[in-house]
Amino acid sequence: MTSPTTAPLSFDALKLAVSDGSMDTVLAVMVDMQGRLMGKRFVARHFIDSAWHETHCCNYLLATDLEMATPDGYASTSWQAGYGDYVMKPDLSTLRPVPWLEGTAMVLCDVLDHHSHQPISHSPRAVLKRQIARLEALGLDAMMATELEFFLFEKSFDEIRAGGFRDLAPISAYNEDYHILQTTKEEGIMRPIRNHLYAAGIPVENTKGEAEAGQEELNIRYGAPLATADNHTIAKHAVKEIAWQQGHAVTFLPKWHHDRVGSSSHVHQSLWQDGKPLFYDADKPHGMSDLMRHYVAGLIKYAPDMTVFLAPYINSYKRFQKGTFAPTGTAWSVDNRTAGFRLCGEGTKAVRIECRIGGSDLNPYLAMAAMLAAGLQGIEEKLPLGDPLTGDAYAAKAVDHIPGNLRDAAAALHGSTMLRAALGDDVVDHYTRCATWEVEEFDRVVTDYEVARGFERA
């Protein structure tokens, strides 16, 4: 999918770059529960001498929240257990240059137990790899793609933080969906994002203005699930760093203002075998094979179970509002952007299903693992798929809905026998605790809304 000039680095190429002085730093990073890159900056010479084999990190990195707090209630680690080490094992197939940082390379690491060197089951890459193994056991491959939506702002991260995150001004003044004039004004940020990511081996296709002032979309070519999740995570990190370098803030918060459209991360998916698209059957309605119909029925049936992985925070649920292109129901449709699941490529070999529920804050490894689990369960159960919804899904009466808040979504995850079987009890319990902690933290906070509404009138 990528040309030799944009392919990730080989280890031998890194050694040559270190020898000639063009590379002096290697970022060895893991993916945390929130989908962020955590790790260490190595002197490149030390990395190629020894750290390429393994390094270590505190095991609290897979049991923290966005603020890096250490909540109780996790079975994997705690104050009582003393917060020991994990092994970070570099996956050298992910080694790549980081063109937006001088003399720097990056490698993604798998997270292993310090003693057994077995994968940590609740680490995001391991969660997704477990579902990929299920596919492989059935002789199947998946192709997936994620869309990244985000907002750019006039001011920098530091300026906005110093102002208490008030009076936020997007970089543009009007809806810029597909707008070439307005996005030309933003090329000082977006052009480096496209070009640097492409040079880092991320198969970027395009960027475009989205349906709100200051909103952008980045599209990356589809690929195998693990590569897609890796690309998404590196791209999201790069967008933040490159915007920061240009003096601007960016947010992947799904709903930064109640009057503004939210940001999503739609996920496209299909199954293949020996290079042939298993979702396509020219003789069936819409070109959908029976296998695809079972898969989509699984996505719909188990959408509530997996909502935490598509909408992991309190704010995630503020996005689900009628008339905003963010779905509230689990119906499927043919090329209808009001439904939770949209059939794309109708009647062609490119036929696929798009999940529109996920927000821009999702962790792609967890979200894609949950969707693969739901789809495979639909195939195993041979679930029937009803007729596609037509018209406005927001106005439809007989449509099931996803949980309306994180509290209900956490309960659905905790009670999901399907996800417990597919991901493991320990993984489900771990991420249920992650969600309930977010609820507990929000419940104890007095918001500006409450004070302004009730200070005098209550």
Residues 278 and 400 in one domain: yes
CB distance 107 to 91 below 8 Å? yes
Q: What is the rounded distance in angstroms from the CA atom of residue 212 to the CA atom of residue 171?
A: 11
Decide if 218 contacts 152 (C-beta within 8 A): no
Same domain, 166 and 70: no
- Answer yes or no: do 155 and 81 share one domain: no
Kindly give the residue spans of alpha helices, DSSP state H, lying in 83-186: 124-137, 157-162, 180-185
Residues in the chain: 458
Write the CATH number for 380: 3.30.590.10
pLDDT at 4: 36
Return d(Cα 174, Cα 296) in angstroms, integer. Answer: 36
Which two three-digit tokens encode residue 196? Answer: 């640097």
CA–CA dist 360, 94 (Å, integer): 23
Q: Is residue 5 part of a domain?
A: no
Residue that finishes a domain, picked among 120, 144, 170: 120
Residue where one domain finishes, among candidates 70, 85, 120: 120
For residues 143 and 102, membership in a common domain is answered with no
Both 25 and 87 in a single domain? yes
| 380, part of any domain | yes
Q: Do 275 and 242 share a structural domain?
A: yes
Question: What are the residue ranges of helices labelled H in 21-176?
Answer: 44-46, 124-137, 157-162
Q: Which domain holds residue 106?
A: 11-120
The DSSP secondary-structure symbol of 212 reads S
Number of domains composing the chain: 2
Residue 2 lies in a domain: no
- Of 94, 90, 96, 127, nearest in space to 110 by CA: 90
Residue 422: partners with Cβ closer than 8 Å, 6 or more residues away: 130, 131, 134, 373, 376, 377
C-alpha span between 376 and 383 (Å, rounded): 10
CA 390 to the chain's CA centroid: 29
Q: Is 277 left (phi over 0), alpha (psi -120 to 50) or beta?
A: beta
Dihedral pair phi/psi, residue 106, rounded to 5° = -135, 145
Q: Which of 69, 90, 120 is the last residue of a domain?
A: 120
From the list 197, 195, 156, 149, the residue with the least C-alpha distance to 176 is 149
* Alpha helix positions (H), 79-123: none
d(CA 103, CA 17): 9
Q: Is residue 3 part of a domain?
A: no
What is the number of other CB atoms lying within 10 angstroms of the CB of residue 184? 12
Q: Is residue 169 part of a domain?
A: yes
Domain harbouring 109, CATH code: 3.10.20.70
Q: Are residues 350 and 406 in the same domain?
A: yes
Smallest CA-to-CA distance from 253 within 362, 327, 408 is with 362
446 Cβ contact partners less than 8 Å away, ≥ 6 residues apart:
none
Residue 448 makes CB contacts below 8 A (sequence gap 6+) with none
* Residues 99, 182 within the same domain: no
- Grouping H, G, I as helix, E, B as strand and the rest as coil, residue 141 is strand
**How would you write the pLDDT of the chain (458 residues) with one tens digit per residue?**
333 344 589 999 999 999 999 999 999 999 999 999 999 999 999 999 999 999 999 899 999 999 999 999 898 887 777 778 999 999 999 999 999 999 999 999 999 998 899 999 999 999 999 999 999 999 999 999 999 999 999 999 999 999 999 999 999 999 999 999 999 999 999 999 999 999 999 999 999 999 899 999 999 999 999 999 999 999 999 999 999 999 999 999 999 999 999 999 999 999 999 999 999 999 999 999 999 999 999 999 999 999 999 999 999 999 988 766 677 778 899 877 778 899 999 999 999 999 999 999 999 999 999 999 999 999 999 999 998 888 666 666 677 788 999 999 999 999 999 999 999 999 999 999 999 999 999 999 999 999 999 999 99
Asked whether residue 457 is assigned to any structural domain, the reply reads: no
Co-location of 305 and 444 in the same domain: yes
CA distance 47 to 53: 8
Whether residue 385 is contained in a domain is answered as yes
115 and 170 assigned to the same domain? no
Assess whether 112 and 224 both reside in one domain: no
User: Do 112 and 140 have their domain in common?
Assistant: no
Residue 286 CB burial class (10 angstroms; 0-12, 13-18, ≥19): middle
The torsion angle over the Cα atoms of residues 106, 110, 113 and 114, rounded to 10 degrees, is -20
User: Among 434, 435, 34, which residue's Cα sits nearest to residue 233?
Assistant: 34
Residue 394 falls within a domain, yes or no? Answer: yes
